[in-house]
Amino acid sequence: MRKLCGLTLLVAAALTLVGSAQSAIQAVVFASGFTLPLAVVQDPRDASVQFVVEQGGRIRVVRNQTVEATDFLNLTASISSGGERGLLGMAFPPDESATGRFYVNFTNPAGDTVVARFNRSANPLVADPSSRFDLRWNGAANPAVIRQPFANHNGGHLAFGPDGFLYIGMGDGGSADDPGNRAQNGSELLGKMLRVDVGVPDSDPTGYRIPSNNPFVGGGPVQARGEIWAFGLRNPWRFTFDPRERGGSGAMLIGDVGQNAWEEVDYEPPARGGRNYGWRLREGAHDRITSTPPAYRPLIEPIEEYSHSLGQSITGGYVYRGSALPGRFRGRYFFADFVQGRVWSIALSIDAGGEATASDRIEHTAELSSTGALGNIGSFGVDSSGELFIVGHSRGVVLRIAAGNAPPAPTSLRILPP
């Protein structure tokens, strides 16, 4: 009996050792040699090509995991870079194969936000710099910029939604605690999610139309600019859509950077515009500055938050819809903390009304750090198969999240004497 107990204990200890050493996922270097990369964008034409956006103004080409010598586009002479400024976002529209267009978001030398349209040249791996057109947010006769009162909180991410419209995440204009209360001001584009229709001719004087079903067209909850899709964001640092083409819901998930205490993930069911995510009244699910009223209610609470004891600046990610990782990861939302270089995923439960609740937060930092500490995480990305990238801002690398390699099962188990 004592020998049987010894055997049981030995087997249990061995299995525990195997379990602790196993890694369900790992990060492998996909491409390297970048300078402060902030985004990786899949080429919609060619599965073997990705574009890496560098904060300093270059868009690099990665083909078959090799960085090409020739840039796709170089905007270093047109931008201000450093801190939270720079070349911040890039997106291809769904009709890119027909139009050759793409869009970038950057801060110009004055520090103001520019959303510019470009076209590819005859060589699809080189853009045409002369095709630049800056969207004119203040009418055709006015400067084609969104004014930024401070150097921080520029937002900068661009993404096309399942509806084919361009979504643009705008920070609150910067400083701290939104001193101008811009995120709750309907006449300001700052502190908002914008949605515009860029499917206009090249001759269009503003470069976009306001969709007729945007929530503030014709009044909405409050009087506000028609480009606004949602209120109450502080600095949305990466938002994505759960891809319908891969079985997702089409919902938007936003990583919104907090002030001094809380980081948050916001969830928006498909086509559910007009929401107010609460900043500056709320930071995460907590009161912040309540001396001024919100533009309108209700204030939408985040589905997930974490305190500054865990990290200090969220980097929003993606709902995983690929097939390379173990099946239990499918449908989980991956996100990170920029400052601490930590990565988590959460499970999402969707109710009959399309709202989500989050649960089962798991940290993956240790298992993704086999190639070294992750460093500052600038963003995530997805390839043509829905597999995930991590953009290592401070390390200058793009990592791919892959299935882990489990160690072999132990052999030659022995029965220990009692």
List domains and CATH numbers for the chain: 27-403 (2.120.10.30)
Return the pLDDT at 406. 55
CA distance 13 to 203: 71
Q: Could you list the pLDDT tens digit for every one of the 418 residues in the chain?
A: 333 334 333 333 333 333 334 689 999 999 999 999 999 999 999 999 999 999 999 999 999 999 999 999 999 999 999 999 999 999 999 999 999 999 999 999 999 999 999 999 999 999 999 999 999 999 999 999 999 999 999 999 999 999 999 999 999 999 999 999 999 999 999 999 999 999 999 999 999 999 999 999 988 889 999 999 999 999 999 999 999 999 999 999 999 999 999 999 999 999 999 999 999 999 999 999 999 999 999 999 999 999 999 999 999 999 999 999 999 999 999 999 999 999 999 999 999 999 999 999 999 999 999 889 999 999 999 999 999 999 999 999 999 999 997 554 454 445 445 5
DSSP tag of 18: H
φ, ψ (nearest 5 deg) of residue 335? -150, 175
pTM: 0.93
- How far, CA to CA in Å, does 355 sit from each of 98, 194, 270? 35, 21, 10
Contact between 243 and 321 under an 8 Å Cβ cutoff? The reply is yes
- How far, CA to CA in Å, does 258 sit from each of 190, 236, 288, 337, 391? 16, 9, 10, 11, 21
Return the pLDDT at 2. 38
Q: Are strands 388-392 and 228-230 parallel, antiparallel or unpaired?
A: unpaired
- What would you measure as the largest C-alpha separation in the chain, in angstroms? 91
